[in-house]
Amino acid sequence: MKKYRRLDWSDRLRIEALYNAGNTCNLIAKHLGFAPSSIYREIKHGLYEHMGAETTKRPWHYSAQIAQEYADYQSTAKGADIKLSDNHEYAKEIARKVKLGISIDTIVNVKKRSGQWTVSTTTLYRYIDRGYIPGVTSKHLPEKPHRKQRKCSTVKAARAPKGLPIDRRPEDIANRKTFGHWEFDSVIGKAKGRKQSILTLTERKTRFEIIFRAASKTSAATVYALNKIIRQFPQGTFQTITVDNGSEFQDCYGMEHDKQGNKRLTVYYAHPYSSWERGTNERNNRIIRRYFPKGKSMNRLTQKDCDKVAASINAMPRKILDWCTAQELFERELANLQNPPRVDLYETFRVGLDNLPRIRQKNPCRRRFRGIY
């Protein structure tokens, strides 16, 4: 493969001699080893009107001097120099973190929060596209920005869901103001593998992720996994779960009740073909696919492997969390469950009294005299 080469002063002198002698652009390009379009553009930049135009067949001639002056001007008007200069350690660090699967936005903002020097996210994307970061191309990036926004529309279910529809879910859950509300989904390996499935749970407020290696993609395996997961956390961690209409989530009673038949949570079903209604879970599933690509076998996948991936996701600073990690926020919410903040009853009572409307009281010592008529 030939390397790209720019036209220099010697090439322009040869173009001047050949073009002014009456040769065509295709012939000049073949002689110099350039594309005909490159020669055509170059000649257009160096044309001038010849003084004896009425006596010549070609009134316009090419000047190497004019073309060289134009090229020198274009090279000085290319914009500011790159900010990396000789900072090779910064470029190597960026390359190492990108290959680990860390996004550009996360790299830049973590450096800013720690007070380290860095270029902006947009500039770093541009440097990668131009090849300034060694060993890193657009193929190594976890995601490319400027994705097209999908149109979100709901589809009416062919049959009524086993539990409550998502339309009846309270507003405070949709606004992510309270803790303990989860989104539930399954991720499969090879399409023909019945036992190749993992279950993913994402807490809506903190974005905390739980990954469980399921025995199979069945409702019985889902209920068994959910029972095992809930036992690991204090009461109040699981209040509601939002699922899709997959066959593995059809045992609504088994998910909502424990083995003794006591109700422990509420299950809401999203509309068919409306994955955006569980957007948090689907977003984390895309990150999981970096570790478990589609079509890859999960036969040798263990629960220990799933825990490592979940820990990596939960330790990742997120822009939506103000560059905190899901692990930090989740532990904070668990601490509030076990040790809820104390409420000062006296202060609440006093504030309540201050907000009462003032009533004008009568003075018992004041006598009212009536005149005698």
Q: Rounded to an integer, what is the distance from CA 105 to the centroid of its chain? A: 9
pLDDT (mean) for 163-175: 90
Contacts for 245-248: CB closer than 8 Å, 24+ residues apart: 245/157, 245/161, 245/269, 245/270, 245/272, 246/186, 247/217, 247/218, 247/219, 248/186, 248/197, 248/217, 248/218, 248/219, 248/221, 248/222
- What is the token pair recorded at 162? 């086993």
pLDDT (mean) for 38-50: 88
25, 39 in Cβ contact below 8 A?
A: yes
The C-alpha angle with vertex 365 and arms to 359 and 370, in degrees rounded to 5, equals 95
pLDDT reading at 81 higher than 70: no
pLDDT (mean) for 74-81: 70
67, 45 in Cβ contact below 8 A?
A: yes
Q: Which pairing describes strands 197-203 and 209-213: parallel, antiparallel, or unpaired? A: antiparallel
Rounded CA-CA distance 228/214 in Å is: 11
The CA-atom distances, in angstroms, between 61 and each of 115, 235, 240, 248 are 59, 87, 80, 77
pLDDT reading at 37 higher than 70: yes
pLDDT, residue 369, reads 40
Rounded CA-CA distance 314/120 in Å is: 25
Confidence of residue 89 (pLDDT cuts 50, 70, 90): confident
Instruction: Give the three-state DSSP class for 358.
Output: coil
Rounded CA-CA distance 296/189 in Å is: 6
- What is the token pair recorded at 174? 């949709």
What are the residues facing 202 on neighbouring strands?
Answer: 183, 209
Confidence of residue 131 (pLDDT cuts 50, 70, 90): confident
210, 237 in Cβ contact below 8 A?
A: no
Residue type, 185: D
Rounded CA-CA distance 46/87 in Å is: 39
Rounded CA-CA distance 51/60 in Å is: 9
pTM > 0.75:
no
pLDDT digits (tens, 9 = 90+) for 256-304: 999 899 999 999 999 998 889 999 999 999 999 988 888 888 888 999 9
Residue 57 CB neighbours (<10 A)? 6
pLDDT (mean) for 126-149: 77
Q: In what order do the strands lie in the sheet with 209-213?
A: 164-165, 266-269, 240-243, 181-188, 197-203, 209-213
Using only C-alpha atoms, what is the Rg of the chain?
A: 35
